[in-house]
């Protein structure tokens, strides 16, 4: 049975993998396991050992601490309704937008960010 911590780690694993545009198979190949194991980690069905978490962090080019980011808040707010922030980053369109953004050079990225901020300011006014 998955614990809240296992579920959180699995969500963070899925989010980082998707941000990098990796399939479960590609990630599994990098750490020497089957893609089904990645599936089980991501849904919280299997617990991620410390050694495996280290390997996954290396493959995903992130610190191990990335997987624990927001855990305390998630555990504290378990009794309150879920926020939309976590849901927002699990949407495919959000991942696609972030990937497209980082494929741009620095100057167009800044211009796009300025445009997005101005659009939001127009809506708020």
pLDDT score, position 97 = 84
Question: What's residue 88's pLDDT?
Answer: 66
* CATH assignment of the domain containing 32: 1.10.260.40
85 within a domain of the structure (yes/no): no
Is 14 part of any domain? yes
Q: How many other C-beta atoms are found inside a 10 Å radius of the C-beta of residue 67?
A: 23
What's the pLDDT score for residue 5?
A: 92
Number of structural domains the chain divides into: 2
- Domain span including residue 49: 4-80
- Same domain, residue pair 75 and 109: no
> What's the pTM?
0.65
Instruction: Answer for the pair 6, 44: CB distance below 8 angstroms, yes or no.
Output: yes
The closest alpha carbon to 61, from 4, 105, 20, belongs to 20
């Amino acid at each position: 049975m998955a614990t809240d911590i296992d579920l959180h780690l699995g969500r963070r694993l899925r989010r980082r993998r998707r941000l990098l545009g990796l399939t479960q198979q590609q990630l599994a190949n990098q750490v020497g396991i089957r893609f089904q194991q990645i599936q089980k980690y991501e849904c919280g069905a299997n617990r991620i050992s410390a050694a495996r978490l280290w390997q996954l962090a290396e493959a995903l080019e992130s610190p191990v601490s990335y997987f624990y980011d927001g855990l305390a808040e998630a555990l504290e707010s378990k009794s309150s309704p879920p926020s939309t922030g976590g849901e927002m980053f699990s949407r495919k369109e959000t991942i696609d937008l972030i990937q497209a953004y980082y494929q741009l050079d620095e100057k167009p990225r800044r211009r796009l960010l300025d445009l997005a901020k101005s659009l939001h300011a127009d809506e708020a006014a």
